[in-house]
Amino acid sequence: MTSNRRTFAIISHPDAGKTTLTEKLLLQGGAIHLAGEVKARGAARRARSDWMKIEQQRGISVTSSVMTFEKEIDGEVITFNLLDTPGHEDFSEDTYRTLTAVDSAIMVIDVAKGIESQTRKLFEVCRLRNVPIITFVNKVDREGRPLFEILDEVADALALDVSPQNAPLGMGGLFTGVLDFATDTVTRPEGGSKEFLGKREPLGDLPEELEEEIELTKIGYPEFDLEAYRNGDLTPVFFGSALKNFGVEELIEAIAKWAPPPRPQPAGEDEISPERDEVTGFIFKVQANMDPNHRDRIAFMRQVSGTFKRGMKLTPSGLGKPIAVHSPILFFAQDREIADTAFAGDIIGIPNHGTLRVGDTLSEKNDVRFTGLPNFAPEILRRVVLADPTKTKQLRKALDDLSEEGVIQVFYPELGAQHIVGVVGQLQLEVLISRMEAEYKVKANLEPSPFATARWVKGDDKALDEFEKFNRANLARDRDGDLVFMAKSPWDVNYQEEKNPDLTFSATKER
Ligand code: G4P
């Protein structure tokens, strides 16, 4: 049986048009009826808690959300699970983790700006995780650049084959439609309104220059090849305008037809197939305090196999005893709805009080452990100094909670009472300070720490004991009590690695 689930993320540089495209995809799926709704709801949601003010100030989206919608394509109803990712380079950890939960991605590029370094980094992560990419070159209603120039740029930046799927007609303000290479039909606007779905018609007469450019494009690039795309060697490129709803239908059809259905997931030496009868899944994100009036906590589970039914008992790997999932949430266009059933590829929100953590596996029989969800070595380390020293308990709670959520990592040095937090990007620190104040009433300052990075240390007991004896001042425990070497410089790491060949120093930790 092939699955009708397509679970994907949209990745882009801020301002490339991700929000607008999301909105149009939802509109296509009939999930929302008014343009602007994603943003409007976003604003309402942001107003709810203090830390999200950062989003407003910076005009970026820090949290990632899940949206599910359906569309009938060639007689089959396809369920799309769209995972939103923050589009800011500072918040890469969250994005990385989201990419562990999807089967494919859409990369949105602003035609005027091309590929920016952040987008390239995301692309590399997709490659590492075997997440194939469909490219959507947005805003072709605005800027006029030759097609092949843009295609060459994409191919160059990503070091892979590009396969153009369509062509915008009359870029540079004269935009009159999108030509579909496969069928030689063109989608034209109806009536000039901004929000239209367009109508397909046979290709009419085109101006000569345009015909030439399109001919060249057809000849110069490889044809689409499903296997190459799924292997991550080729990206089909769609040109369009999210704002004007051009090329969006083609994009959604491409996801339905080409994007991989739910894939097997690595679990140590094994792989768990989506066809497996028992329900399995893993937590890739935990979000606490979504509503400040209720200390609720939603764990986002990517379902890997089985048919989930409401009320079902699942055992989280971190807990060892089963929990009953009475009020699972599916995310239909950001409205919370209680789900009765869910399938491989779906994302389920599980309300809990801190029992579920990022990286946890959930399974019916407690016989599976998914792997490949790393903790990244922090690049910025800071000491946490309390403004009010009587609040140490609240501080510890806040740091534990927020590290569990993946906002920060926390390290408790073996010597001394100071707590050290580690992050991959600066923005995480601002989120930390602001959430500690808003949600835990803890005022704290961050001061420079003597450390530059951290490594998880592993080895046999004897070697570890020896190492601990000599390096106590540079050792800490993470939230799980695992040993971490706090290094003053990368040189320090190299030195210790050479000196202690029996130990491993790793920059990531499987969660
Ligand atoms: P993001 O989520 O990736 O950050 O981008 P977003 O959708 O917010 O779009 C960024 C800006 O680009 C918005 O303009 C949006 O209207 C515009 N935009 C998106 N798609 C297209 C397109 O196809 N063509 C053109 N011409 N513009 C597009 P803004 O002025 O910053 O915001 P707003 O005032 O429109 O909300």
- Dump strand ranges (E) for 74-170: 76-84, 104-110, 133-138, 161-164, 166-169
CA of residue 43 to ligand 1 center, whole Å? 16
Tens of pLDDT, residue by residue over 421-471, are 998 777 778 888 988 998 899 999 999 999 988 999 999 999 999 999 999
Q: CB–CB of 438/292 below 8 Å? A: yes
Residue 335 scores a pLDDT above 80:
no
CA distance 410 to 246: 46
97 ligand 1 Cβ < 6 A? no
| CA-22 nearest atom, ligand 1 | 7
Residue 11 scores a pLDDT above 90:
no
| CA-241 nearest atom, ligand 1 | 23
Burial environment of residue 145 by CB neighbours within 10 A (0 to 12, 13 to 18, 19 or more):
middle
How much is the average pLDDT of 303-331?
Answer: 88
Question: What letter would DSSP give residue 390?
Answer: G
The residue ranking higher by pLDDT, 333 or 99, is 99
CA-closest candidate to residue 241, choices 303, 291, 201, 189: 189
245 ligand 1 Cβ < 6 A? no
| CA-60 nearest atom, ligand 1 | 4
pLDDT at position 403 is 85
- Dump strand ranges (E) for 15-58: none
Straight-line distance from the first to the last Cα atom of the chain, in angstroms, rounded to the nearest whole number: 32
Tokens of 268: 């140590």
pLDDT at position 290 is 58
Mean pLDDT of the chain: 82
- Count of CB atoms within 10 A of residue 371's CB? 16
b/e map 468-500, b = 16+ CB within 10 Å: eeeeeebbbebbeeebbbbbeeeebbeebeeeb
The number of residues in the chain equals 511
18 ligand 1 Cβ < 6 A? yes
Residue with CA nearest ligand 1 atom 15: 17
Tens of pLDDT, residue by residue over 263-283, are 999 898 889 999 999 999 999
CA of residue 14 to ligand 1 center, whole Å? 10
How much is the average pLDDT of 5-13?
Answer: 91
263 ligand 1 Cβ < 6 A? no
| CA-14 nearest atom, ligand 1 | 4
pLDDT at position 130 is 85
CA of residue 334 to ligand 1 center, whole Å? 20
Tens of pLDDT, residue by residue over 371-426, are 877 666 777 899 999 998 889 999 999 998 888 777 788 999 998 878 999 987 77
* pTM of the predicted structure, to 2 decimals: 0.78
CA-closest candidate to residue 147, choices 162, 133, 161, 134: 162
**Full DSSP string of 429-466:** HHHHHHHHHHHH---EEEEE-S-SEEEEEE--HHHHHH
Tens of pLDDT, residue by residue over 175-210, are 778 888 888 888 887 655 455 556 777 777 777 877
